[in-house]
Amino acid sequence: KLNIGVDIIQHGVEGLVYLLTESSKLMASIPFDKEFGISEVDFQDSIHVLGFSDELNKSLLQLYLDNRKEIRSILGELAPRLPSYHSLEWRLDVQLASRSLRQQIKPAVTMKLHLNQNEDQTAQVLQTDPATLLHLIQQLEQALGEMKMNHCRRIVRNMK
């Protein structure tokens, strides 16, 4: 009916879905504003560069304003539910000798990680040697240090 190829219509719909979902994901730029999504001005600035007519820009803005809360709630339902930390039990085992080796020291750290997921509690048992555990601790501390950088904080703030 439109005399337009299927690919063009498909790309147009995908672009519209992308525009609405990405705009709804971002938090409002005004501090302490409880409204979800970007502000009207930010949305208009974002679509202005696409070169659409003023009438189409107003229609897109109205579509965004009417549906941003619903889009955000649907995106929240689709988000994966990841387990959260509850508690950790640990034990240090050291093998001092065996039948074949009379003098050996073989340490092992055993951890039982309790997690909460959807109000169910699960446990994971992990075992490692102290050197690997120290390396893991260093990597986690390095990651936490990087999270304090301005660039990472800006990314995390926009993800919420």
Q: pLDDT digits over 25-54, tens only?
A: 775 444 434 555 677 888 888 788 778 888
Q: Give the confidence band of 160 by pLDDT, cuts at 50, 70, 90.
A: low
Q: Do both 124 and 141 map to the same domain? A: no
Helix, strand, coil shares, percent, the chain, to 5: 50, 20, 25
Domain endpoint, select from 53, 79, 105: 79
Between 156 and 17, the higher pLDDT residue = 17
What pLDDT sits at residue 29? 41
Q: Do both 73 and 88 map to the same domain? A: no
**Overall domain count for the chain:** 3
- Residue 84 CA to residue 114 CA, distance in Å, equals 9
Q: Do both 14 and 71 map to the same domain? A: yes
In a domain, 65, yes or no: yes
Tokens 């971002």 appear where?
26
Q: Do both 72 and 93 map to the same domain? A: no
In a domain, 91, yes or no: yes
In a domain, 75, yes or no: yes
In a domain, 1, yes or no: no
What pLDDT sits at residue 31? 43
CA angle 9, 26, 57 (to 5 degrees): 45
Q: Do both 43 and 61 map to the same domain? A: yes
Q: Do both 75 and 54 map to the same domain? A: yes
CA angle 11, 20, 70 (to 5 degrees): 130
pLDDT in tens, 96-123: 888 787 788 889 999 999 999 888 899 9
**Domain containing 123: what range?**
84-128
The string of DSSP letters for 15-51 reads HHHHHHHHHHHSBPSSTT---BS--HHHHHHHHHTTT
In a domain, 27, yes or no: yes
Domain endpoint, select from 15, 48, 79: 79
In a domain, 18, yes or no: yes
In a domain, 12, yes or no: yes
Percent of the chain scoring above 90 in pLDDT = 27
Q: Do both 11 and 26 map to the same domain? A: yes
Q: Do both 60 and 45 map to the same domain? A: yes
Most confident among 14-28, 29-43, 72-86, 131-145 (mean pLDDT): 131-145
Average pLDDT, the chain: 83
